[in-house]
Amino acid sequence: MYNFLLPNEFVSSVFDITPEKLQDLGIKGIITDLDNTLVEWDRADATEELIVWLRIMKEAGIRIIIASNNNEARVKAFAEPLDIPYIHKARKPLRNAFYGAVIQLGLRPNEVVMVGDQLLTDVMGANRLGLHTILVKPVAQSDGFVTKFNRFIERRVFNDLKRKGKMTWEDKE
């Protein structure tokens, strides 16, 4: 029932994702969400810890692109200082942004992972394109209006998964 909503993996944060882990999976590129995945939705800039993580990924040859449903001003202001390409107003979970990101990375779908904090946008859209998906725990407890609705649906899905004996990142704590 939840095939398109189930990520391949659950992690507590992006910092649990290492180049070695990705390379073991044959992954050469990351499509990542921005808000509540890399930083809080209301934080303008990357944290020092995130800057180090991004540098480690790049040094390992892992290509990175941000795909965000947010507006260009927000995404550009975050991504440009980090020299990371981006797609704004991605309209996730529609496939176009994921497909465009894979093309920009110059990779095949089986070489790319989508890292995000939402089942209904990040995971569903990436799964439909056949990408490896990693769901991270949101870095902030607060959300914008649309995301609040998505979180309501996610809680229902997670509760159903628990009843079926499936693990989520909530079980990792």
Half-sphere exposure at residue 6, Cβ-oriented, CA atoms within 13 angstroms: 10
Q: Are 57 and 30 in contact (CB under 8 A)?
A: yes
Q: How confident is the model at residue 173 (pLDDT cuts 50, 70, 90)?
A: very low
Residue carrying the six token digits 């990924």: 57
In this prediction, residues 152-166 reach a mean pLDDT of: 70
| Domains defined for the chain, CATH in brackets | 9-172 (3.40.50.1000)
CA 62 and chain centroid, separation: 15
What predicted TM-score, i.e. pTM, was given to this entire model? 0.86
pLDDT at 161 over 90: no
- Give whole-number Cα distances, 87 to 18, 54, 142, 155, in Å: 23, 17, 23, 28
